[in-house]
Amino acid sequence: MKIWVDADACPKPIKEILFRAAERTAVQTVFVANRLVQIPKSAHISALRVPFGQDVADNEIVRQLTAGDLVITADIPLAAAVLGRGGHALDPRGELYSAETIGGRLNVRDFMEVLRSTGVETGGPSTFHQSDRQAFAGQLDSWLHGRKK
C-alpha cells in the first residue's frame, strides 16, 4: 500500500501532516509534481518529478497506482480515475471521495467549467482553514487505521 500525493497543488500544512504520517506508520508516500518538491530525508517519503504538461502528474499517478493505494488530490477527474482503478482518493480538505459521490462531483465540476468558459466569474476555492487541516488529518488517520486491520 502506498500514498500518492498530487503535490503541485497540495497545501503545505497537508504535506506536513503526510510527512509525519509516513514516518509514524512506515507507509510509502510519494509526492508527484512537475516541479521540485521539498521533502524530508526518509526511507518512507519520496518525490517523483514529471515533465511539465497538462495532467502529466495525474496520468503518472494513475499509471503507477495499485488497487488499495490512497491518492491525495483535489482534482475531481483524477479522483474518479483512482476510484475506477480500485484506489482510494482523499481531498486535502478531508473529503474521502466515493463511488457514490464522484459522479455528482464530476457533473458540478463540468458545469462550473462551462460557466467559466462563457465568461462567468465562479471564484476559486475557499480559503484553507484549520478546520480543513483537522478534517484531513482525521480522515487520513481513519484510513490508515482501517488499512492496518
pLDDT in tens, 70-129: 999 999 999 999 999 999 999 999 999 988 887 667 667 666 677 677 887 766 667 888
Exposed / middle / buried, residue 143 (Cβ in 10 Å: 0-12, 13-18, 19+): middle
pTM for the structure as a whole: 0.85
Task: Please report, for the domain that includes residue 80, its CATH number.
Answer: 3.40.50
Exposed / middle / buried, residue 71 (Cβ in 10 Å: 0-12, 13-18, 19+): buried
* pLDDT surpasses 90 at 12: yes
Domain range enclosing 64: 2-148
Return the pLDDT at 57.
95
Provide the domain count of the chain.
1
131/123: higher pLDDT: 131
